[in-house]
C-alpha cells in the first residue's frame, strides 16, 4: 500500500500561486493537489481490483470538498494567463446572440404559446396570447422570478390543461434532477394549495376533464417507475397508483396522443418496450395493454380514429409501421403500412386529423414522409444541403410546436453547420414551406464565409465512418490547421449536426470543427447502434481513432494540432480513446465523463445503472465484466505520456456522479509520465449534468473551455 499523502490545503495552494500573471506570461509554478490514497479491494470473477480513490465518493466528507476546492484553485491558477482570452471569447459569443428574442408562437387550444428572453436575464419568460398574436401578452411563468435567491434552476414539466386554465410545472433547484411539481391557476396567477412533491421531469399529463393530472415518480435510483392519478382539490395521499413498472431495467413515460384521446404509457428498456393506453375522457379507467412485452421487441404507439399505429422492429431492426384496430390490437390484426427497409430507419411518427408524418433517417440525414390519410397519397419533405439537422433532431420543442390535431400545417425546424436555426410551417396541401423565423446571428455573421462537407473514414473492419466538417473558407490542407473533433456514439442517439453561434469564435481563429458519426449512435440505423454497444463497444473507440487518423492523413490537421472532446457517455469515449492513442491528440476536453465504468455498473443503487445493462453490459456476468474492464477509462490508465487535459464535472450531477471524473484525474495525475496540464474543474454550487444553469453562466463555461483548447493548440489571439 502506498503511503498516504496529505491533501494540499486551499490556503497553501493559493500561497503557492502568488501574483497574477499577464495573458502571455509563463504559467505560475503552482503544484497540483495530490489526493490521498486509501486502498479498497474488490474481487469478482477471480479478478482483484484495488481502488485507491474510492473514498472520493464521500460527498459529505469535508476532506473531499477540500480536495475539489484545491483542484479548482489549481485550475484557475493554470488558466490565469488566459483570463483575457476568456473574456474576449465570452464577449464574442455574447455578441453573436440576440439577447432580446422570442420563439415562434405555436397554437394550442385558444392560445398562442411562446417564450422570450431579455437582456441580462438568465432565463426564459414563458408567455401566451389568447386568440390572436395581437392580443395582450400573458406571462405564464417567469423563470427569472423563480430563480431569485437560487443558484440553479431547471424547468422540467410544463403542461397546460386542455381548457387553458391551469399549468402544471416542475422545477429543480439542485442540479440533481430533484424536480418538484406545482399547479398554477393561469386566470389568477396564484399557485394551487396542493404540493405533489418530487416527480419525474417529463412524466406529467392532463386528462380531458381539466381536473385530473397524471404524474410519474422515481425510485431511489431515479428511475421513473410509478404513474399516479391526482384529482384537483384532493390530498396527495389519496392519489391512485395507475401503473407501476417493477422491472428495474425499464423506465416509464406517459404521453398524451396528438388526438387527445389517449394517455399512452410506455415502459421501455434499451431493447424492449410495452405500451398501455388509457382513455383521457375516462381518467379513472384501467389502462389497456396494447401488446405484451417480448424480449428484444420495441414498439411505440400513436392513435388516429379507430386505429392504433405501431412503429415496431419485429421484422427488422430499423422498424416498420403497422395499423391495428383500437378495439382489437392483437398482432394477428396488424396491417402493414410501411415495410422494414435495411437502409432506412423509421425514427418517429405524428398523426394529425388528415395527415400522417413519418420521420426516416438514411445515411445520417433525416427526412419526412407525409401521407394524406384520406386518399393514401404520399410525398417526401427533404432538403438539398448535404449536412443538416431537422425535425426532432434540431428542436427539442418539436412536439410542443405541433400540439394541434386538426391542422393543415406542419411546424418544423431546420439548421446546418452553416445555417442558423430556422423555423418553418409546411402546408400539407400545397407542399409550400413558409419561413417563420431565421435565428438572427449578430456580430457580422455571413454564412458565405464558411464551408461544410462530409467525409468518410475507413474503420479497421472496412466500415465507412461519416465525418461532418465546418471551417472558414480558403482552407489549405497542409496539416497546419487546428481541429476540434467531437464524438458521442452511445444509446443509438443521433447527435444533431447543428449550428452553434459560440462555435464561430473557434472557426474565425482557423479551427476546423469535425463531428464523427461513430458506431454506437443511431445515424445509420439500429444496426449502427448494435455495432457499438455491449460486446461490440470497442468499435466506438476505434471508429473515432479512424476518423482522427483520416483527418490527419488528408492533411486537415496533424496530431500536434488536434483536440478531441465529448460529454457524458461521449466522455467515456474520449477517455478510452485517450488511453488507446494518447499520441494522436494534443488536447482533450472531457465533460461530465462516464469514466469509472466497472464501479458504477456494479452499484445498482446509482441512477441509470440497472437500466443501462443493455447498453454497456452487466459486470456480474464474467464475459461482460472482462470486456468492460478492457476499455473502462479509469481501469486502463497507464504510466505513459498523455495530452493536455481539462475534465469538468458538477458536484450535484445525478447522471454521472462527480466522483468518477474526480477519481479519474487523481489516478491519472499519480500515474502519467508527462508534464502536460491536467485540470479538474468542479461546479461546487448547484449545477447539473450540463453544468451551470442560466444563459450567461453557460456562456462563461463555453468561453473557458474554448480558451483552454485554443491556448493549448497555440492559438492565442
Angle at 455 between CA 558 and CA 586, to 5 degrees: 20
Q: Inform me whether the pLDDT recorded for 594 exceeds 70.
A: yes
User: What percent of the chain clears pLDDT 90, i.e. is strictly above it?
Assistant: 91
**Phi and psi of 601, rounded to 5°?**
-70, -10
* Residue 505 located in a structural domain: yes
Q: Inform me whether the pLDDT recorded for 12 exceeds 70.
A: no
Based on the structure, what is the number of domains in the chain? 1
CB atoms within 10 A of CB 332: 7
pLDDT of residue 202: 75
Residue 269: exposure state from Cβ atoms within 10 A (0-12, 13-18, ≥19)? buried
Contact of 203 with 591, CB cutoff 8 Å = no
Q: Inform me whether the pLDDT recorded for 396 exceeds 50.
A: no
pLDDT of residue 717: 75
Report pLDDT digits (tens) over 147-190: 999 999 999 999 999 999 999 999 999 999 999 999 999 999 99
Contact of 70 with 9, CB cutoff 8 Å = yes
Average pLDDT, stretch 372-400?
76
Q: Inform me whether the pLDDT recorded for 25 exceeds 80.
A: no
Q: Inform me whether the pLDDT recorded for 116 exceeds 50.
A: yes
Name the residue among 277, 316, 322 with its Cα closest to residue 297: 316
pLDDT band for position 201 (50/70/90)? confident
Angle at 508 between CA 365 and CA 439, to 5 degrees: 55
Q: Inform me whether the pLDDT recorded for 27 exceeds 60.
A: no
* Residue 527 located in a structural domain: yes
Give yes or no: 653 in active site: yes
Q: Which three cell numbers stand for residue 686?
A: 448547484
Residue 347: its H or E element: strand 345-351
Distances (CA, A) of 54 to 336, 596, 599, 610: 53, 10, 9, 21
Distant-in-sequence, close-in-space partners of 466: CB < 8 Å, separation ≥ 6? 363, 364, 454, 455, 456, 516, 517, 523, 524
Q: Inform me whether the pLDDT recorded for 620 exceeds 70.
A: yes
Q: Which three cell numbers stand for residue 33?
A: 493537489
* Residue 1 located in a structural domain: no
CB atoms within 10 A of CB 116: 15
* Residue 486 located in a structural domain: yes
pLDDT band for position 3 (50/70/90)? very low
pLDDT of residue 103: 94
Q: DSSP readout, 161-211?
A: -TTSSEEEEEEESSSS---EEEEEETTTTEEPS----B--TT-EEE-TTSS
Q: Give CA–CA dist 687/698, Å, rounded.
A: 11
Average pLDDT, stretch 424-446?
96
Q: Which residues pair with 302 in a beta bridge?
A: 309
In this structure, of 131-135, 396-400, 524-528, the range with the lowest mean pLDDT score is: 396-400
Distant-in-sequence, close-in-space partners of 493: CB < 8 Å, separation ≥ 6? 521, 522
* Residue 256 located in a structural domain: no
Q: What is the CATH number of the domain that holds 564?
A: 3.40.50.1820
Q: Give CA–CA dist 318/528, Å, rounded.
A: 10
Q: Give CA–CA dist 60/40, Å, rounded.
A: 19
pLDDT of residue 495: 87
Report pLDDT digits (tens) over 627-686: 999 999 999 999 999 999 999 999 999 999 999 999 999 999 999 999 999 999 999 999
pLDDT of residue 104: 94
pLDDT band for position 392 (50/70/90)? low
Torsional sign, CA 239, 244, 248, 252: negative
Task: Work out the angle between the directed axes of helices 62-79 and 10-17 (0-180°, nearest 10).
Answer: 10
Report pLDDT digits (tens) over 208-238: 999 999 999 999 999 999 999 999 999 999 9
Contact of 367 with 386, CB cutoff 8 Å = no
Q: Three-class SS string for 261-308?
A: CEEEEEEECCCCEEEEEEECCCCCCCCEECCCCCCCCCEEEEEECCEE
The active-site residue, picked from 568, 632, 650, 711, is: 568
Q: Inform me whether the pLDDT recorded for 7 exceeds 60.
A: no
pLDDT of residue 542: 98
Report pLDDT digits (tens) over 83-95: 999 999 999 999 9
Report pLDDT digits (tens) over 234-252: 999 999 999 999 999 999 9
pLDDT band for position 10 (50/70/90)? very low
Q: Inform me whether the pLDDT recorded for 546 exceeds 50.
A: yes
The sheet with strand 204-206 has its strands ordered as 204-206, 212-218, 224-231, 240-244
Contact of 311 with 291, CB cutoff 8 Å = no
Q: Is 622 helix (H, G, I), strand (E, B) or coil?
A: helix
* Residue 317 located in a structural domain: no
pLDDT of residue 384: 81
Q: Which three cell numbers stand for residue 636?
A: 486502463
Report pTM: 0.93
CB atoms within 10 A of CB 158: 17
* Residue 507 located in a structural domain: yes
Q: Give CA–CA dist 653/68, Å, rounded.
A: 14
The active-site residue, picked from 173, 495, 689, 693, is: 689
CB atoms within 10 A of CB 419: 20
Q: Give CA–CA dist 348/710, Å, rounded.
A: 39
* Residue 588 located in a structural domain: yes
Q: Inform me whether the pLDDT recorded for 22 exceeds 90.
A: no
Q: Three-class SS string for 414-466?
A: EECCCCCCEEEEEECCCCCEEEEEECCCCCCCCHHHEEEEEEEEECCCCCEEE
- Structural domain of residue 547, as residue ranges? 82-94+460-712
> What mean pLDDT value characterizes the chain?
93
pLDDT of residue 609: 92
pLDDT of residue 615: 96
Name the residue among 278, 192, 199 with its Cα closest to residue 231: 192
In this structure, of 264-268, 361-365, 581-585, the range with the lowest mean pLDDT score is: 361-365
Amino acid at each position: 500500500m502506498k503511503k498516504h499523502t496529505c491533501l494540499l490545503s486551499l490556503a497553501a495552494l493559493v500561497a503557492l500561486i502568488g501574483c497574477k500573471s499577464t495573458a502571455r506570461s509563463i504559467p505560475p509554478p503552482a503544484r497540483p493537489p495530490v489526493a490521498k490514497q486509501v486502498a479498497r479491494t474488490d474481487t469478482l470473477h477471480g479478478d482483484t481490483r484495488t481502488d485507491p480513490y474510492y473514498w472520493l465518493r464521500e460527498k459529505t466528507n469535508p476532506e473531499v470538498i477540500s480536495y475539489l476546492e484545491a483542484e479548482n484553485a489549481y485550475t484557475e491558477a493554470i488558466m490565469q494567463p488566459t483570463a483575457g482570452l476568456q473574456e474576449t471569447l465570452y464577449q464574442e459569443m455574447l455578441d453573436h446572440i440576440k439577447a432580446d428574442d422570442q420563439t415562434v408562437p405555436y397554437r394550442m387550444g385558444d392560445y398562442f404559446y411562446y417564450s422570450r428572453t431579455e437582456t441580462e436575464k438568465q432565463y426564459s419568460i414563458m408567455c401566451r396570447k389568447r386568440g390572436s398574436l395581437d392580443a395582450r401578452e400573458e406571462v405564464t411563468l417567469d423563470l427569472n422570478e423563480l430563480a431569485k435567491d437560487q443558484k440553479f434552476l431547471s424547468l422540467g414539466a410544463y403542461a397546460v390543461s386542455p381548457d387553458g386554465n391551469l399549468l402544471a410545472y416542475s422545477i429543480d433547484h439542485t442540479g440533481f434532477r430533484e424536480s418538484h411539481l406545482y399547479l398554477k391557476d393561469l386566470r389568477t396567477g396564484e399557485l394551487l394549495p396542493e404540493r405533489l412533491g418530487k416527480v419525474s421531469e417529463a412524466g406529467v399529463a392532463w386528462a380531458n376533464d381539466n381536473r385530473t393530472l397524471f404524474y410519474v415518480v422515481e425510485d431511489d435510483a431515479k428511475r421513473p417507475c410509478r404513474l399516479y392519478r391526482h384529482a384537483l382539490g384532493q390530498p396527495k395521499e389519496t392519489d391512485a397508483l395507475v401503473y407501476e413498472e417493477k422491472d428495474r431495467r425499464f423506465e416509464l413515460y406517459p404521453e398524451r396522443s396528438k388526438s387527445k384521446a389517449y394517455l399512452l404509457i410506455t415502459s421501455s428498456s434499451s431493447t424492449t418496450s410495452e405500451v398501455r393506453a388509457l382513455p383521457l375522457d375516462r381518467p379513472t379507467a384501467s389502462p389497456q395493454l396494447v401488446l405484451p412485452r417480448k424480449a428484444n421487441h420495441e414498439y411505440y404507439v400513436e392513435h388516429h380514429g379507430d386505429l392504433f399505429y405501431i412503429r415496431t422492429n419485429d421484422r427488422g431492426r430499423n422498424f416498420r409501421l403497422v395499423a391495428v384496430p383500437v378495439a382489437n390490437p392483437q398482432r394477428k390484426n396488424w396491417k402493414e403500412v410501411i415495410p422494414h427497409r435495411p437502409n432506412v430507419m423509421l425514427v418517429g411518427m405524428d398523426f394529425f386529423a388528415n395527415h400522417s408524418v413519418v420521420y426516416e433517417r438514411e445515411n445520417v440525414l433525416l427526412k419526412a414522409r407525409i401521407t394524406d390519410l384520406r386518399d393514401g397519397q404520399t410525398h417526401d419533405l427533404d432538403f438539398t444541403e448535404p449536412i443538416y439537422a431537422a425535425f426532432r433532431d434540431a428542436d427539442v420543442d418539436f412536439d410542443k410546436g405541433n400540439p394541434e390535431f386538426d391542422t393543415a400545417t406542419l411546424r418544423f425546424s431546420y439548421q446546418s453547420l452553416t445555417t442558423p436555426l430556422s423555423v418553418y410551417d409546411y402546408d400539407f396541401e400545397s407542399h409550400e414551406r413558409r419561413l417563420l423565423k431565421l435565428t438572427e446571428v449578430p456580430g457580422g455573421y455571413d454564412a458565405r464565409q464558411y464551408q461544410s462537407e462530409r467525409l468518410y473514414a475507413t474503420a479497421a473492419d472496412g466500415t465507412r465512418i461519416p465525418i461532418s466538417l465546418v471551417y472558414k473558407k480558403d482552407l489549405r490542407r497542409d496539416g497546419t490547421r487546428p481541429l476540434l473533433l467531437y464524438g458521442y456514439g452511445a444509446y443509438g442517439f443521433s447527435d444533431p449536426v447543428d449550428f452553434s453561434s459560440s462555435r464561430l469564435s473557434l472557426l474565425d481563429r482557423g479551427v476546423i470543427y469535425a463531428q464523427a458519426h461513430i458506431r454506437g449512435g443511431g445515424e445509420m440505423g439500429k444496426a449502427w447502434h448494435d455495432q457499438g454497444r455491449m460486446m461490440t463497444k470497442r468499435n466506438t473507440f476505434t471508429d473515432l481513432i479512424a476518423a482522427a487518423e483520416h483527418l490527419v492523413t488528408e492533411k486537415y490537421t496533424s496530431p500536434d494540432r488536434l483536440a478531441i472532446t465529448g460529454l457524458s457517455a461521449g466522455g467515456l469515449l474520449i477517455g478510452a480513446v485517450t488511453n488507446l492513442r494518447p499520441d494522436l491528440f494534443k488536447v482533450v476536453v472531457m465533460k461530465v465523463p462516464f469514466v469509472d465504468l466497472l464501479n458504477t455498473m456494479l452499484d445498482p443503487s446509482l441512477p441509470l445503472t440497472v437500466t443501462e445493462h443493455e447498453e454497456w453490459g452487466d459486470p456480474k456476468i464474467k464475459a461482460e465484466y472482462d470486456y468492460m474492464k478492457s476499455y473502462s477509462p479509469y481501469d486502463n490508465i497507464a504510466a505513459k505520456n498523455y495530452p493536455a487535459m481539462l475534465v469538468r464535472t458538477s458536484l450535484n450531477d445525478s447522471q454521472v456522479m462527480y466522483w468518477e471524473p474526480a477519481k479519474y484525474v487523481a489516478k491519472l495525475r499519480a500515474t502519467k509520465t508527462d508534464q502536460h496540464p491536467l485540470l479538474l474543474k468542479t461546479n461546487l454550487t448547484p449545477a447539473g449534468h450540463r453544468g451551470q444553469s442560466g444563459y450567461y453562466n453557460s456562456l462563461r463555461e463555453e468561453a473557458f473551455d474554448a480558451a483552454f483548447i485554443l491556448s493549448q493548440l497555440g492559438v492565442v489571439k
